[in-house]
Structure 1
């Protein structure tokens, strides 16, 4: 796992009408190119009577997989605007398919670019954003006499308890944001006069709501 990053909070479908053409954006979280292709195929089947089903997706924490398709629209007027909307929102591991039912009025190249871009951006806003925050697990071994003071300290400092094991001592596991590890370890050591044994456990991503 690398740095924290953004993605959509939920899959969604957004629709708007622009000069009598229906534009429908289906946006979803994906973890692989195969999954993205599966969603694209599903939308294309569902909207097989549509004039176009254009798409773009970005996969990987470093966006190493990027694909886009105009699906019959003039070159550069659909797939790239969809992809650029994903990049502008700085989101990762997503696929967006914009379906168009032609309404009889031509939009021109500039109009198409705006339509595909704006429809994708509106879908992103509707889906909402979450930030995936990289966290480590700290396993704190503490005596029974210090257990209650430890739990009080964790609550006071808004540190989430992941679980506890009871034996000769108590092992309390907590989740800590990666960028706060050093300060949390030091605070715990100072507060309990170096009477705790602290070891690092597995990492995870915690998803929290994000406001730009």
Structure 2
């Protein structure tokens, strides 16, 4: 599994106009080829009267499946540029569909490539993209006097504190990237002289969306 990768958290849509042709982009999450094709079909049904519904998708993280379609546009002017945007943005498990309503003016090969590239990027910009990372929940139980040190260590290591509970002691829950967990545990043990109690959870993918922790 990849330690970290970018994908779609919330679908997005946007529209651009080039020489009276409308290009409507829809970007979504798809974790299988079947999900990606179903997304494409939903858009095609919604815009059944459009001349073209071009698409591109990237599925998987280790072995990535890439597919694209020009859907009647000149070869290489739509699906491939759209796929190149997904690759350039480092997006995985992502599907893009761009619907075109012809405006009466031919755009030419270069114009089509630019339009499909621009509309795909606009759709991504309208989406919520999340960076998913492999990590572990780490529960730190300590005295009140040590909480400030926990917060300082977490801040310097750019580690998200998911929760803090106050009882007769303090319980802080940290979301720790997998590649940092051993070094962080060592820092906490050393800083507390072994007094802090550490409990590690299972490895999961997580991300930060609008400042909030999200696990997958």
TM-score bracket for the superposition, by shorter chain length: 0.7 to 0.9
For 2:151, the equivalent position in structure 1 comes to 155
For 2:77, the equivalent position in structure 1 comes to 77
| Residue ranges of structure 2 left out of the alignment (5+ in a row) | 211-216
Query: How far off its partner does 1:72 sit?
Result: 1.1
Deviation sequence 1:158-190 (CA, Å, 0-9, x none): 5525688x9xx9986532122321221111111
Separation (CA, whole Å) in 1 of partners of 2:106 and 2:129:
33
Q: How does 1:13-92 map to 2 (within 5 A)?
A: 13-62=13-62, 64-92=64-92
Name the SS for the 1:100 alignment partner.
strand
TM-score when scaled to structure 2? 0.82
For 2:124, the equivalent position in structure 1 comes to 124
Separation (CA, whole Å) in 2 of partners of 1:132 and 1:161:
16
Name the SS for the 1:31 alignment partner.
coil
For 2:214, the equivalent position in structure 1 comes to none
| Residue ranges of structure 1 left out of the alignment (5+ in a row) | none
TM-score when scaled to structure 1? 0.83
Deviation sequence 1:89-128 (CA, Å, 0-9, x none): 1111110000011111111112111111111112112225
Greater shift after overlay, 127-136 or 90-99?
A: 127-136
The root-mean-square deviation of aligned C-alpha atoms, in Å, is: 2.7
For 1:200, the equivalent position in structure 2 comes to 200
Query: How far off its partner does 1:209 sit?
Result: 5.4
Deviation sequence 1:70-94 (CA, Å, 0-9, x none): 1111111111111011111111111
Asked if structure 1 preserves the Cα contact closer than 8 Å seen for 2:69 and 2:78, the reply is yes
Greater shift after overlay, 42-51 or 200-209?
A: 200-209
Asked if structure 2 preserves the Cα contact closer than 8 Å seen for 1:63 and 1:92, the reply is no
Query: How far off its partner does 1:195 sit?
Result: 3.5
Q: How many residues align?
A: 205
Separation (CA, whole Å) in 2 of partners of 1:46 and 1:205:
33
Separation (CA, whole Å) in 2 of partners of 1:85 and 1:193:
50
Greater shift after overlay, 55-64 or 122-131?
A: 122-131
**Cα separation, partners in 2 of 1:12 and 1:170, compared to 1, 3 Å:** closer
Asked if structure 2 preserves the Cα contact closer than 8 Å seen for 1:7 and 1:131, the reply is yes
